[in-house]
A and B are shown apart, each in its own frame.
Chain A
Amino acid sequence: MRAVCRQMCWVFLVGAVMVLSSGSLACREQRTGDTRSPRSGTENIENKGSDTLVNLALAWAELYVQERPEVRISVTGGGSGTGIASLMNRTADIANASREMKIEEIRAAEANGIRPVEFVVARDAIAVVVNPSNPVSSLTMQQISDIYTGKITNWRKLGGEDRPIVLLSRESNSGTYVYVLEHVIRMGEPKSKLLFSPETLLMPSSEGISTEVRQNPNAIGYDGLGYVTSDQKVLAVARDASSPYMLPSIATVKEGSYPISRPLYMYTAGEPGGQVKAYLDWVLGPGQKLVSKLGFVPLN
């Protein structure tokens, strides 16, 4: 028992030291940050939010900074909600989101005196993936909906082997989850009360989904096209039984024949001005040529 006590004392001491030192570090950082920016004349844009968008946002920022060395852009992930929260407490200039802002969030922002302005910056196709050994290669939207609500529980019913279906999904806070629920499971019907089956495995990351899909011949999952690796099998999806089965690609999303695609957003606090506006104009204009390189779909 005494050894444990001694251990705990140490843990506490080390913890205290860490807290104290990190506190002083944070102070110092803030001070240097304050003095540096006016002297060198650079303007800093804080860009925060969706993990789906983070790679694209980084690529944009890197290219833009090369063209405009007087601007500094820092990009962080953390999720759509995190970005929007930062926009509200004014620690971010631009929030990335893979979903629209919720009504509660808009209300909270307005209570803080912020009117969020929305920009659609790219589109994203959502791919439905299975293990490469799975013989099933195409599904209709109705079938996907039945699978995820738990109506169909065996691959045999879909022309596959006699195996149980293991449902994989992103966490419920992910913009992708909300999109799939509203536009795939509920097929876009606002009155529908359908939900993901309680048996659905909610994976905390894209990595979690791809690992399980790669290993497990029973699994079905979905994710943004940019995150699908070559060791997963992408299914062709048809809007209904009479439509053609289409694989997700930039071309099929653009012409609208692939049914599961969504817009990606950036939000600013009020109408943007100055460098933020210049950056957004660039993102919506010349920046679009980067979009397809990262597996997303450009606007035009």
Chain B
Amino acid sequence: MFARQQAAAAHANWGEFVIEAFIRVLGFSTIGFVLLIFLFLLREGVPIFYKVPPSNLFGIHWYPIFDLFGTLPLLLGSVFVTVTAILIALPLGVATAVFVREVAPNWAREVLKPMIEVLAGIPSVVLGFFGMHVVAPLIRETLGAPTGLTVFTGGLLLAYMALPTIISVAEDALDAVPKSFRDAGLAMGATQWQTIWRVVVPAARSGITTAVMLGMGRAIGETMAVMMVTGNAARMPLSLDALFKPARTMTATIAAEMGEVAQGSAHYHALFGIGIILFILTLLINLVAVSTIFKKQRRGGLR
């Protein structure tokens, strides 16, 4: 009797050990994958930094088939489109999160939350198609721009794509603000709007920063929709009207050119070089996002 019980216990322990080991391997493998991908990027991309002089590499002409690898227009294009997207998505996203979390009645919240998550599931190529056929002509006709394939069009679509991330993370941040804050605000005689705007939103500030950073990470890495609606002209977006002119992003460049590049050529390494720049940029954005999370944790209940 006793022996059988012991065997059963040993069996359970062993099973638990296997499951635990399996989960641990899965967990660590994510880090492993990221590391391997980064090593691969480095191996394929670093040669461009010594094969091509920096004056060419950070020049303003991207004509890869003529060995002109100026990444500056691409970098500025990516940053410009992303910043436009965030400027559009931030107020909309935070306002939606405030509405869902603070204002909406329960039944509306139950409907809105899943709908917002569905928004995140729309494939970007579908959005790109929509942008190409509906948004771009609309922008050309209403704004009188020479073409509808512009930074602004890309920014609009990216904002739409970054919204679900921003809304759900910002909503979690608002959710984490203790009820006592709201009670205190209302008890001081503040209206609901004053409580939200002066107490709850500032208290969730760091969470909202995280939301914006994650949305930005999503926007800068987005490829398909951007490639379809920004026109992909590698021009320097320096003048004021550049918002309503085409631009070429780093992601679109990699996606459009990788399929046709001769392996091992300078162009091939240049595309991976852009990949490295993109990787570092997203890493920086994520680091900022993570650091705000840590700050929040250290401050404990005071967030």
Contact = CB atoms under 8 A, between A and B. Distances in A.
Most buried by A among B137, B146, B207, B210: B146
A267 to B, nearest CB: 14
A172 B147 contact: no
A263 B133 CA distance: 33
B259 A199 contact: no
Interface string A66-85: 00000000000011111011
A105 interface: yes
Interface in A180-219: 195-196, 198-204, 208, 211-212, 215-216, 218-219
B55 interface: no
B260 A174 contact: yes
Contacts of A165: 146
A104 interface: yes
Contact of A78 (B64, B133, B248, B259): B259
Contacts of B236: 198
B294 to A, nearest CB: 12
Interface in B1-40: 26, 30
Contacts of A297: none
B140 A216 contact: yes
Contacts of A172: 63-65, 257
A116 B245 CA distance: 43
Contacts of B106: none
B187 interface: no
A31 interface: no
Interface in B204-238: 207, 210, 214, 227-228, 231-236
A163 B133 CA distance: 21
A178 interface: yes
Interface stretch (B88-96, B165-173, B178-186, B275-283): B165-173
Interface stretch (A1-9, A223-231, A253-261, A272-280): A1-9
A263 to B, nearest CB: 19
Contact of A164 (B146, B149, B232): B146
B284 interface: no
B262 interface: yes
B26 to A, nearest CB: 7
A164 B246 CA distance: 14
Contacts of A85: 262-263
Nearest to A84: B262
Contact of A104 (B63, B73, B228, B265): B265
B262 A212 contact: no
A221 to B, nearest CB: 11
Nearest to A193: B66
A119 B146 CA distance: 42
Contacts of A3: 168, 172
A16 interface: yes
B105 interface: no
B256 interface: yes
A202 B232 contact: yes
A203 B229 CA distance: 9
